[in-house]
Structure 1
């Protein structure tokens, strides 16, 4: 399966890099030479100001689109998929808001699905970093990508029947800057210096000079569009929790909710975009339902009883041993493993670098040695996982061994900002542990030596203290609605920390409190992750950049490093895809050198269990399972399950 995944990523990177051999210019400018090639499916012209203008029905930074302007549907969908039926999933914990754009409150699951964007960021699932027009018909941008114009579809409208116009687009953009997440707003303000209505169906965004052109068009094209009329009439705010929802323009709209029990979304029968080629074979259900449960145990029992119908399994114990209930034996429920073409999420034990005790890397290295991947994988996770070592796992950007070739030249060219050991020593690899016992005594001795060196001595009570008598306290919060396996994994880690003399504690907190603590970075260590990238994008700044480190909810460690900042810039301003790959490989090496996450496990497949009425294309795309996108219900199978009493 890992080979299939690597091949999928490599194939996509080859498509992404097809035009990368030509220079992009000092600011990473997209090339006219790229866009005029026949297979790129874009048009080139000159405007009244003498600028070269690219007009296209979608966007890719390199100007390459796999699908032509007159495509009928995406190649992986079933254009004849029947419409109808119900799709239901579970959610654990609680919700007290239907506004997903606020830091406050705990938003209901899927509460953003009602709102569309200018470019469809959810498709296609067979191209990486490419989006096609959804609310827009076409886009226009100059050769240097200094600005972009979106030509909206005149037929686009909200679920209340009001037309969606350029006024709504600019209003939504400004509302995000004024009341949206601070890390997002701050980043966008520095990159987008203008948003203006040209006419009812044309909107223009202008970008700041002398910054990378990466992700700028994609970013404004991915902003949700809300009804200006509704917000002005109601006085609602984007940064406040609320149960009332604004009208969306998407294929589904909120039908009903029962707080902490259920949310139901139903197909909008008047959805304006149902016949667009981009939507053919997609959005096939009449109803999408979310059932809430107190915890993962209750949720799994409900699935066994047919209270909901689709489960993306993350618990290795359940995947290995839990699917022996009657519905499986009768063929009502099936298990399926589908390869995942995306790099794995960078999960692990994340250090909160705002804590002074973690300033000494020796402390972080010592605490990392308490994690025994090998024992946890064999004893708790049924040997189903591999240990992650890279922030770009199994891709061409995955740093290995000593730097050499172009990567070595890049690091050497950056001067004193690069630590000498990053050049002279192999890239950091995760430690190994004994799979036969939970405490690896060799690692324990090494860890205790590091803590001694860092000034934390063991007292007569077995607890470590610094020179001022302060204990080495570590608090790890966990979500009380999480899986028992995750609780066992974190609990074992805490026990190993205690063996070292660390005053470690695992705190179970309710889902709302956990969400708040996660947002406020109120923890010493948290089991969390960083989103993955295959290519460069300005999102790297929100994940790892110093400027947003204090406020970014996407940077749970709060990592802030001049070296990382410089390598992100190198990637963003790369003039070829080879240079981009070199910079990202060096970035992987630097992220691992800084050591702010103890890398945990990953799997190469999606584990899916569902009632045997759902079907999907035989040839699945690499970058999305698409269960709520392009799967469908077989009506005959659904009726048979109902007749047999399989579903509640």
Structure 2
């Protein structure tokens, strides 16, 4: 599962709460997924209400034999395979401080700019943190890979065949204007987001109807059975106020959802917008009478009185703002900066904390991603040649201070990553498609090319040359040319100047192959527009993954997404085998089956050489002023910032602008 105020059942349910929060501060050296939560106003029509008859017959069982609960009885939460860590009477999540003090203002550095407060459309650049004003039907815990608990929804139930899901809304759920949150709001949100956002249209492709089935009840109907993930991803739905968006502004103008706006929208969440300086800053203030503040899922969370995002032109300036005490918290994405920029008095004195916090999430795939819609990249041998030209070991030694691990899986840092030769259930799945797969999948373990780190990678470049020659490209007069006389030219489109130092040595290797490679730096808005419209050769792209992958894989690798502007299938992959393997993942009836299906999908994606894998970390690099505090026992799947952190007003570095009212 993935994204929208987005999420995939684990990280991405968790990330649903913070994806827009950090998107504006992502540095591509270790970038989070920066695909925006906005899409074209003219979204593709919803898919037909037809079942997927091609689904593997053994995967459509109604329920796993291991389940020991009746899903038709309303529950306080939902899990991919039935089990929940927290019972119906839990008081708070284990990783929060239920006594955390409230108040204070936390300042976060974002880069680039923003021109809209609507994060659900393709137009414009949404302000960071806009998700803070909204609630979702369900909310995730940060110490489980695939579980949700009721937020706007008081309970959830579904039939044993997973053909629908029903939510009972909390009668006390309110918008910030005091109006009740109703099933009509939920239905309107669902229909509006599918219409206006290609991601939602793809993510909820199998959710074909939403209807009010009781005073406080809404039921979503699916066009297939056996898809265990659908109840969970519907639970991630942010709820928007129909009466607000269909109403008029203070000037008497009709609001248009598909258009950008700087009018602070109505929400129901723990924060509301307090101040906006377009493109420069946005401040959210804690809602003192927030309707859900005492729910178990919210105890110990949303502690800051204000959350402020200050925009900077690039991450270098934002780093200086942190060291100058104009920003309180930074997730560091640059190995060079982490190694060299924090030897300052405030760190040595312990006022500015430099911490490495373990990250047990799947690392996903950060990569140089090809646009295979372009003819020069359609031959996998060409794409593989680019991988052989990439000298990670030299780069890690000379640019990254040895901090990174080379990524060799789309699900790196997890049990979902394939490895060695396929065996067992994974092999059985792959054998069904043997005639359509490269034979080396069954005979050769996938390995990324390696060098000795000296910078002398001639052997790898010779391998790259052989692959290019096999694909019909030879060097003539120093230029890589095909049989039609076309010269291989490649442009690396980048939206952040800090990444130029990474691309530059790679370009030098490519030039040794006769490839005319260049860097094209553009601003954030132009970058996103070109990516959305597929106007690029190669970009740095992260495909984030959770520990419970599912429907979001369609948006990454599915045929429908390949043709949808603004989808996350930036590569343009459309392969019938991959389509079937995605279904295998989605319809897995047990954890064991999910792992095997994901291994198979991972292996086929790797064999396609759709990307040049980059690198990953198994920990978060955080820098923050000592006035910020977090629980002693941090959740394994998230930093929890800002939700579970708080301000210590007695710390040596006093909180800026404390909210005395709280």
Give the structure-2-normalised TM-score: 0.87
Q: CA deviation at 1:31?
A: 4.5
Q: For residues 34-64 of structure 1, give each alpha carbon's deviation from its aligned partner in whole angstroms, at most 9, with x where no partner exists.
A: 243xxxxxxx4xxxxxxx7231001112221
CA distance in 2, matches of 1:103, 1:116: 21
CA distance in 1, matches of 2:485, 2:264: 53
Which aligned pairs between 1:180-329 and structure 2 lie closer than 5 A?
181-188=197-204, 190-210=205-225, 212-234=226-248, 235-329=254-348
Q: CA deviation at 1:205?
A: 0.9
Aligned to 1:426: 444
Q: CA deviation at 1:117?
A: 0.8
CA distance in 1, matches of 2:654, 2:538: 49
1:27 paired to 2:60: yes
Aligned to 2:495: 479
- Partner residue of 2:117 out of 85, 98, 103: 98
Which aligned pairs between 1:432-581 and structure 2 lie closer than 5 A?
432-437=450-455, 439-460=456-477, 462-480=478-496, 482-483=497-498, 486-551=499-564, 553-581=567-595
Q: For residues 44-103 of structure 1, give each alpha carbon's deviation from its aligned partner in whole angstroms, at most 9, with x where no partner exists.
A: 4xxxxxxx7231001112221111111110111111111111111111111111111111
CA distance in 2, matches of 1:124, 1:500: 49
Q: Tell me, what secondary structure is at the counterpart of 1:89?
A: strand
1:604 paired to 2:637: no
CA distance in 2, matches of 1:26, 1:357: 38
Q: CA deviation at 1:622?
A: 0.5
Q: CA deviation at 1:534?
A: 2.0
Aligned to 2:45: none
Q: Name the stretch that deviates more: 154-163 or 549-558.
A: 549-558
Q: CA deviation at 1:610?
A: 0.5
- Partner residue of 2:97 out of 55, 78, 82: 78
2:104/2:656 contact within 8 Å kept: no
Q: CA deviation at 1:639?
A: 5.9
1:444/1:500 contact within 8 Å kept: yes
1:25/1:575 contact within 8 Å kept: no
1:354/1:558 contact within 8 Å kept: yes
CA distance in 2, matches of 1:155, 1:24: 43
CA distance in 2, matches of 1:264, 1:536: 34
2:364/2:411 contact within 8 Å kept: no
CA distance in 1, matches of 2:195, 2:125: 21
Q: CA deviation at 1:141?
A: 1.4
Q: CA deviation at 1:542?
A: 1.4
1:214/1:536 contact within 8 Å kept: no
CA distance in 1, matches of 2:524, 2:258: 20
In structure 2, the CA distance between the partners of 1:436 and 1:415, relative to structure 1 (3 Å rule), is closer
Q: CA deviation at 1:576?
A: 3.1
1:155 paired to 2:168: no
CA distance in 2, matches of 1:209, 1:292: 45
CA distance in 1, matches of 2:454, 2:72: 64
Q: For residues 553-583 of structure 1, give each alpha carbon's deviation from its aligned partner in whole angstroms, at most 9, with x where no partner exists.
A: 2222121211211222223333433222211
Taking only aligned residues, the RMSD between alpha carbons, in angstroms, comes to 2.1
In structure 2, the CA distance between the partners of 1:278 and 1:245, relative to structure 1 (3 Å rule), is same
2:479/2:515 contact within 8 Å kept: yes
CA distance in 1, matches of 2:376, 2:203: 29
For CA contacts below 8 A with separation 6 or more, give which structure has more relative contact order: 2
Q: Name the stretch that deviates more: 442-451 or 595-604.
A: 442-451
2:493/2:539 contact within 8 Å kept: yes
- Partner residue of 1:175 out of 182, 188, 192: 192
2:351/2:653 contact within 8 Å kept: no
Q: CA deviation at 1:455?
A: 2.2
Q: Tell me, what secondary structure is at the counterpart of 1:90?
A: strand
Q: For residues 573-600 of structure 1, give each alpha carbon's deviation from its aligned partner in whole angstroms, at most 9, with x where no partner exists.
A: 3343322221111111111111101111
Q: CA deviation at 1:538?
A: 1.3
Q: CA deviation at 1:24?
A: 11
Which aligned pairs between 1:606-625 and structure 2 lie closer than 5 A?
606-625=620-639
Return 5+ residue gaps in structure 2 as ranges.
1-9, 12-55, 249-253, 658-662
Aligned to 1:3: none
Q: CA deviation at 1:291?
A: 0.7
1:403/1:426 contact within 8 Å kept: no
CA distance in 2, matches of 1:442, 1:537: 39
Q: Name the stretch that deviates more: 540-549 or 134-143.
A: 540-549
CA distance in 2, matches of 1:367, 1:557: 15
Which aligned pairs between 1:582-593 and structure 2 lie closer than 5 A?
582-593=596-607
1:24/1:30 contact within 8 Å kept: no
Q: CA deviation at 1:405?
A: 2.4
Which aligned pairs between 1:275-424 and structure 2 lie closer than 5 A?
275-423=294-442
- Partner residue of 1:54 out of 70, 73, 78: 73
Give the structure-1-normalised TM-score: 0.89
Q: Name the stretch that deviates more: 199-208 or 394-403.
A: 394-403
CA distance in 2, matches of 1:69, 1:575: 24
1:130 paired to 2:147: yes
Q: Tell me, what secondary structure is at the counterpart of 2:208?
A: strand
Q: For residues 324-343 of structure 1, give each alpha carbon's deviation from its aligned partner in whole angstroms, at most 9, with x where no partner exists.
A: 22322333211011000101
CA distance in 2, matches of 1:455, 1:597: 20
Q: Tell me, what secondary structure is at the counterpart of 2:321?
A: helix
Q: CA deviation at 1:478?
A: 0.9
CA distance in 1, matches of 2:604, 2:100: 47
CA distance in 2, matches of 1:448, 1:570: 37
Q: Tell me, what secondary structure is at the counterpart of 1:528?
A: strand
Q: Name the stretch that deviates more: 231-240 or 509-518.
A: 231-240
